Structure 1
Amino acid sequence: MAPLNENQLNQKKAERKEQIMRAALKVFADNGVKLTKISMIAKEAKVSHGLVYHYFDSKDEILYESIEWGTEENRATQVFNDLNESGKSPLEKIKAFTQFAFSESDRWVTQSVFRIMQHLNETNGLPDHINELVNNAGQFYIEALSPIFREGQKFGEIIQGDTEELLGIYLTVLSGIMADDPSFWKENTEWKVEILSRMISAR
C-alpha cells in the first residue's frame, strides 16, 4: 500500500479531528460540561485517550472548537426557516422547537449545540473566549425566537408582557431542565412539551 501524500495526510487528520468534535458535542450535550471527561469523549469517538490530546490540549479547547465547528456546521437557520414555512401558528412553532430541543433528531449537531448552550448558561467560571462564543450563539436563538413570540402575542396565543423577558423565562426553563436531566424528556416528549407550553400560552 502506497504511503499517503501530504494532502491525504492532512485530510485524514481533519477527518479524525471532526470525528472527535462530533463525539464531544454528543457527550457535552448528554452530560453537561462539568461531568464530561476526556475519557468519555475518547470512548464515544472510538479513539484512544492519548489521540484526543494529540488534537486538543484540554477539555476547554475541545469544548470551544467543537461548539465553533458545530455552530458553523449546524445550519441552525434552517431549523427556523422550516418552522416559519411550516404554516404552524406561533404557539405551535414554539412547541415544535421545544420538542426539537429535547428529542432525538437527524439534525443532531444543531440540537447538540443548543443543548450545550443551555448547559453553559448554568455554568460559572468559564474562560472569557468560551463565554463570548456562548453569548454569540445564545443571541442567535434570542433573535430567531423573538419574532415568533411577538407574533404569538399579537394573535393572542401567547400571554402579554415584555417579550424579551418572557423569552428569557422560557429559555431559562429549558436551561434548567437540560442542566438537570434531559433524558427524562426523551419519553412522552410531546405530552411534556404540551404541559410546558402552558407556561406561555394565553389559552
Structure 2
Amino acid sequence: MAPLNEEQLEQKRLERKIQIMRAAIKVFADNGVKLTKISMIAKKAEVSHGLVYHYFTSKDEVLYESLEWAMERNRVIQVFHELNESQLSPLEKIKQFTTFIFTEGDTETNSDVFRIIQHLTKSSDLPDNIYDLVEKSGQFYIESLFPLFAEGQKSGEIIQGDTEELLGIYLNVISGIMADDPTWWRKNIDQKADILLRMISTR
C-alpha cells in the first residue's frame, strides 16, 4: 500500500480530531463541565488518553474547540429561519422549536450543545474565550425567541406579563429538562410539548 500523501494525512488528522470533539460534546453534555475528565472523553472517542493531548493542550481547549465546532454545525439557525418564513402562529413556532430541541439530539449534537450552554451559563469562573462563546450563543436564543413571545402576547396566544421574564422561565424549564435526561421527552413529544407550553399559553 502506498504511503499517504500530506493531504491525506491532514484529512486523517481532521477526522480523528472531529471524532474526539464529537465525543467531548456528548460527555460534557451528560456530565457537566466540572465533572468531565479527559479520560472520559478519550474513552467515549475510543482513543488513548495521550492522543487527546496530541490535539488539545487542556480540557478548556477541548471544550472551546468542540463547542465552536458543534455550533457551526448546529441546525438551529436554519430552524429559526424556516420558522420565520412559515405561516405558523407564534405559539406554534415556539412548539416547533421546543420539539426540535428535544428530538434533534437523536441524530445531531444540537440538544447536547444546548445542554452544555445551560451548564456553562451557571458557571462563574469561565475563561474569557469560553465565556464570550457562551454569551454569543445564549444571546442568539434570546434574540430569536423574544420576538415570538412578544408577537404571541400581542395576538393573545401567550399570557401577558414581562416578556423577558416569561422567556427566561421557559428557557430555564427547557434547560432543567435537558440537564436531567431529555430521552423520556422524545416519546409522544407533541403531547408533552403541548403540556409544557401551557405555562405560557392562554389556551
Q: Does TM-score exceed 0.5, indicating one fold?
A: yes
Residues 181 and 74 (structure 1 numbering): CA distance in 2 closer, same or farther, change over 3 Å? closer
- Tell me what 1:82 maps to: 82
| 2:173 counterpart of 1:169 | no
Question: 2: CA distance between counterparts of 1:83 and 1:107?
Answer: 20
- Tell me what 1:66 maps to: 66
CA RMSD between the two structures: 2.0
Alignment deviations for residues 65-91 of structure 1 (CA, whole Å, 9 cap, x no partner): 111111222243101122233432211
Q: CA deviation at 1:112?
A: 2.3
Question: 1: CA distance between counterparts of 2:95 and 2:31?
Answer: 24
Alignment deviations for residues 125-181 of structure 1 (CA, whole Å, 9 cap, x no partner): 222221111001111111111111111111111111222221122112222333334
Identity of aligned residues (%): 70
If the length of structure 2 is used for normalisation, what is the TM-score? 0.89
Question: 2: CA distance between counterparts of 1:128 and 1:172?
Answer: 24
Q: CA deviation at 1:62?
A: 0.8
Give 1:72's aligned amino acid.
Answer: E
Residues 180 and 106 (structure 1 numbering): CA distance in 2 closer, same or farther, change over 3 Å? closer
- Tell me what 1:9 maps to: 9
Question: 2: CA distance between counterparts of 1:157 and 1:128?
Answer: 40
Residues 39 and 186 (structure 1 numbering): CA distance in 2 closer, same or farther, change over 3 Å? farther
Question: 2: CA distance between counterparts of 1:187 and 1:180?
Answer: 16
- Tell me what 2:197 maps to: 197
- Tell me what 2:119 maps to: 119
Q: CA deviation at 1:197?
A: 0.8
Give 2:23's aligned amino acid.
Answer: A
Q: 1:119-138 counterparts in 2 under 5 A? A: 119-138=119-138
| Equivalent pair of 1:119/1:178 in contact (CA under 8 Å) | no
Q: 1:20-39 counterparts in 2 under 5 A? A: 20-39=20-39
Question: 2: CA distance between counterparts of 1:191 and 1:36?
Answer: 34
Question: 2: CA distance between counterparts of 1:34 and 1:88?
Answer: 40
Question: 2: CA distance between counterparts of 1:58 and 1:25?
Answer: 15
Q: CA deviation at 1:105?
A: 4.2
| Unaligned 5+ runs, structure 1 | none
| 2:54 counterpart of 1:54 | yes
Question: 1: CA distance between counterparts of 2:179 and 2:74?
Answer: 21
Give 1:53's aligned amino acid.
Answer: Y
| Unaligned 5+ runs, structure 2 | none
Residues 106 and 175 (structure 1 numbering): CA distance in 2 closer, same or farther, change over 3 Å? closer
| Equivalent pair of 2:30/2:179 in contact (CA under 8 Å) | no
Q: CA deviation at 1:106?
A: 5.9
Aligned residues: 203
